[in-house]
Amino acid sequence: MVTAAELKKLKIDAVEEVHRVREKLAGYSSERIRDLAKKAEGEIERLRRSHTEQT
């Protein structure tokens, strides 16, 4: 039998990792978030092009 307190200690690593980043981003301005998102979109495009060239 697992208690509620023990259950709280069962962390999902995927969520924990997101929360580490999320704490950091909480202090960023909306403009900085948009800038990061644009950089991410640029990287996604670069990865797509490199995948297309390889295949």
CB of 53 to other proteins, least distance (A): 15
| Residues lying near other proteins in the complex (CB under 8 A) | 8, 12-15, 17-19, 21-26, 28, 30, 33-34, 36-37, 39-41, 43-44, 47-48, 51
- The tokens describing 9, both together, are 């200690």
Cβ within 8 Å of residue 28, ≥6 positions away: 36
CB of 45 to other proteins, least distance (A): 8
Q: Where are the beta strands (DSSP E) in the chain?
A: none
DSSP state of 27: T
Give the residue with the Cβ less far from other proteins, 1 or 9: 9
